[in-house]
Every structure is written in structure tokens, then in C-alpha cells.
Structure 1
Amino acid sequence: MTVMPESRVLLGVDVIGSAAQPGHYRRALWAALNRMLEAALSESGIGPEEVIDHEYTGDGALYTLPSTRLGSVVDLTQYLERRAGEHNRWHRPDLRLRLAVEVGAVGDSPGYYGPKISHSRLLNAGAFRRVLGRCLEEGDSEAPNTGLILSGAAFRETFAADYVHSVRRAEFAELTIHEKEFREQAWIRVPGFDARTLTAFSQPLPAPQPSASARGEHPQSVHNQVNGIMRGLQAGVIHGSVTFGEGSL
């Protein structure tokens, strides 16, 4: 009989837009991200010996940590927001992050564990990307530096008691994620945006209405220029006569 692995916390970090940067910029971003992650782990009280696994994911990283550190990991995302903001005030290119947190049974050896698959779906979900993209477009001069998505299980466990200190439950908005075979009611947080705004951003934008000419209709307005005295109606195209009192035009 196979023994079920221990429950662990998965923290995923992905650099937004890294593929569009030149090679030397990508190297600089990766070095800056590593420094930020090390500092945020320390600030949240998580020691290096507590990191069960650390995987590089191309333009990000995936950390596996003990389930007892779930609250600390969620707090850590706010520390990353602050440190990324400090970086972006003084350095170019900007470093903005997508973050995802999942919990579940993950073994010590490499393998296709369910929580890792669902974590990947959350981090790369189109709905999450769209909301975060709207926030980056609508943000003021202090645009958000991070966006966070929690699985339903991670959200419930995080706020079951007083496990976090740097984030509040009210800052999260519920978001339906549907990626391939994966469907989840997740929760998202973007610093600087309240839950109501995040919910509004998750709704599809209304389709643009076609113009009158595209619908095959004549325009409603006619523009003419008159020099001298105007005695009657000004129109675009007239078929037949138009009568005003006596006579005809």
C-alpha cells in the first residue's frame, strides 16, 4: 500500500514579461529575483533548512515548504511586493511578479504530484493574467508590483485562524479558474486594488458596437456648408422633390 505524502505548501513565482527582455536584462532580473526571495524568506522567519525543495522554472521558481509555514508564506508575498517596489523605483527594467500558493500532499522525491499540477494551472491561468493585466493598465504611477492567487484550500486554511499578519482576508476576491481539465474557485489579491474592483476586472469587457455604416445604415447626421441666405432644408442625397409652401426644390 502506498503511503500518502505529507501535506506541503507550494509557493510559485513567475516574472511578468521576462521573455520580451533582452538576454542581459533577463540575467539581471533573475539575480534581483533571487535576492528578493532570499530576503523575503528571511523576513518571514523561514530558515533555509525549512525549504524542502527549490526548483527553477525558466522565468521563476517553485518552493516546497512545510504545511506549518502556510501563514508565513502568504505574509511573504507582501514582503515581495514591497521589495519589488523598491527595486522598480531605482532599477530598470521593472520586476513584476505573479505569485501562487497551493497546499497538498507532495512527496520528497520528484514526481507528478496533484498539487504541483494544480499550482501550475493557478499560476498561469488566463483569468488571473487578465485581471492582473487590467490592474497594471489602470494603476497610477505606483502600479502594483505583484499579484497573488491562492487555491481554495490554501485560502480556507490561511484564514481559518490568526495565521497571517501582513495581508487581510477582505483584500481577496474570488475568481473562477478554468484551465484545460482544471476548474477551481480561487482567490486573488493585487496590492492597491480592493476586492470589488478585482471582481469587476474579472468580468469580460463589452464587445464594441459596429458603426452605422458597418451595419449598412445611412448616418443620422448631415453636414453642409451654406454661403448666403438659406431658404429651406439642407440634406445629403435627395431622390424626388421637396416642397416648402410654394414651389418645389
Structure 2
Amino acid sequence: MAVEVPATHAVLAVDVVSSTQVADDQLDNMKTDLDDHLDEALRAVGLEREDAVQPRHTGDGVLLAYAEEAAPRLVEMLFHLDHLLRWRNREHRIPLRARMAVHCGPMREEGHYHRPYIVASRLLEAPVFRAAVAQCMATDPCGDKVGATLIISRWVWQNVVEPFRIMQVPPARCAPIRIDSANYQDLAWIHLPGMDADHILAQAIAMPQRQGARPVRLSAPVRRGTEQVITAPFTVAPGESAAVNGTESREGDRSRVS
């Protein structure tokens, strides 16, 4: 009996940054604004929300899946969503920012358990990524410089971004990080439009502890180099990626996330 192999899908996870800090009477309007701008950004790259399979609402965000070949367009969409949110923030007292994650993996088009959605959610919630976004917010309190930020999985990096398939997200403007949660470990890459991701990561990890904030242990970002590959538990062959061809300490510094 032949074993059915699920088709690979490109999945998108999007949520509102710091929605828990927004007053209740503003939440519905911000979610509506995000949905409107997300739909417009999707259309800008030739996608429609209605064409997504297995859409999921996540309270302040959404999970969408498309055919595998849509992965480059989902990455490119960051450029459009960032632009739309920055313009929106120039006219509103409370800025609206979004985190985006893009991943690819096999996914059945029925049922309720979809591992690619779980991976995309883990990427979105990665402490290092959240700390980098918090640092962006600290340097851009009005939200008119950075509206949307992006984290991508190893698959998307190797097949979409590193080959320089997306002009708006150049590999040199992405920074590798380690995702090392209890049930998901891998490398990921972040892109912060208009900002130096490596510099923002360094600032986020060096950020002094603030009184009353909840401590979060951050894995150190992957250092760029030319002599050694990153240490266990990950194995990356020399030349596989110039951005991860370095070493990384297992010990991270403590920082805080707003």
C-alpha cells in the first residue's frame, strides 16, 4: 500500500507586537487594521487570504498556508506590510507593529494538527527575536521606521533568501539566531527592515536588566566567521551558509523583553 506523502506548504504566521500592553478599547481597531493591511500586502505579491488553506486565527494574529512555490512571495510581503504599517503609524497615536514568520514543511490539507504551523509559531515566539523587536521599538517609539519584522526558518533561508531570490530581503541584512526551546531546536534568521539586524541583536542581548521586568534567557546570536562551523547540537557544513559559518557559545546572556 502506497504511503501518502503530504505536499509541502509555505506557511505564514503574523501577530501584533505587544498587544497585551494595548488598552482593551483599542484592540479591535488594531486587529482590524492589521487584517486590512495584511490583505493589501498579500495582494501586492499576488496572493489572496481566501486562497490560503487551513487558515487559523490566533487572537491577535493569523496563520495561513499556501502552496510551496508561494514561499518567496510570503517573504517579499514583508516589504509591503512594513511600508503600510509605517504609513499607518504616522497618523495614529498608538503604533501598530507586526511580527512575521515564514516556514515550509509537509502539511495535510485536512485535520487540525499541522506541524509547520507549530514551527512557525515557535519562530514567532523565539525570545531572541522578541528581544530584537523590543529593541527596535525602543529605538523607534513612533513606529514610523519599522512596521513589520521577519523571522524565517532554515528551509526558507536556504531555498529563498540566501540564493538572493528576494531583492527586498538581502541575505547580508539578515542575522542568524539559534532557536533552542524545550521542544524545538534549529537555526533561524531575522530581518529588521531598515535596521542592522546584527547590531540590534547585540544591543538586545547587552540590554541591562530593568527593574520589574520578567527575566528571559537569550541564546547568543550566531557569530559570523570563516574558520569554524557552529557547535553542537547543530551541524552546518562549511560553505552551506556564509552567514552561519561561525561559532556559537552555548551560554547566553540575560536580557529583558518588553
The residue type equivalent to 2:171 in the other structure is: R
The residue type equivalent to 1:13 in the other structure is: V
The residue type equivalent to 2:13 in the other structure is: G
1:184 corresponding residue in structure 2: 186
Matched, 1:78 2:79: yes
Provide the rounded CA distance (Å) in 2 between the counterparts of 1:59 and 1:140: 20
The Cα shift of 1:51 comes to 1.8
Provide the rounded CA distance (Å) in 2 between the counterparts of 1:144 and 1:160: 22
The Cα shift of 1:56 comes to 0.7
| Structure 1 residues 136-151: aligned runs within 5 Å | 136-139=137-140, 142-151=144-153
Provide the rounded CA distance (Å) in 2 between the counterparts of 1:202 and 1:27: 30
RMSD: 2.1
The residue type equivalent to 2:185 in the other structure is: R
Task: Indicate the percent of aligned positions where both proteins have the same amino acid.
Answer: 27
Provide the rounded CA distance (Å) in 2 between the counterparts of 1:29 and 1:175: 29
Matched, 1:163 2:177: no
Q: Deviations over 1:134-185 (max 9, x none)?
A: 1221347644212210011111111364532322111100011112221111
Provide the rounded CA distance (Å) in 2 between the counterparts of 1:101 and 1:177: 14
Instruction: Structure 2: give runs of 5+ residues left out of the alignment.
Output: 211-258
Question: Which one has a bigger Cα radius of gyration?
Answer: 1
1:172 corresponding residue in structure 2: 174
Closer, same or farther: CA 136–20 of 1 in aligned 2, 3 Å: closer
1:34 corresponding residue in structure 2: 35
Provide the rounded CA distance (Å) in 2 between the counterparts of 1:36 and 1:7: 27
Could you say what secondary structure the match of 1:101 adopts?
Answer: strand
The residue type equivalent to 1:180 in the other structure is: A
The Cα shift of 1:206 comes to 6.5
Bigger CA drift: 88-97 or 77-86?
88-97
Closer, same or farther: CA 171–109 of 1 in aligned 2, 3 Å: same
Aligned length: 208
Could you say what secondary structure the match of 1:156 adopts?
Answer: helix
TM-score (ref. length: structure 1): 0.76
Provide the rounded CA distance (Å) in 2 between the counterparts of 1:157 and 1:10: 14
1:5 corresponding residue in structure 2: 6
Closer, same or farther: CA 207–52 of 1 in aligned 2, 3 Å: closer
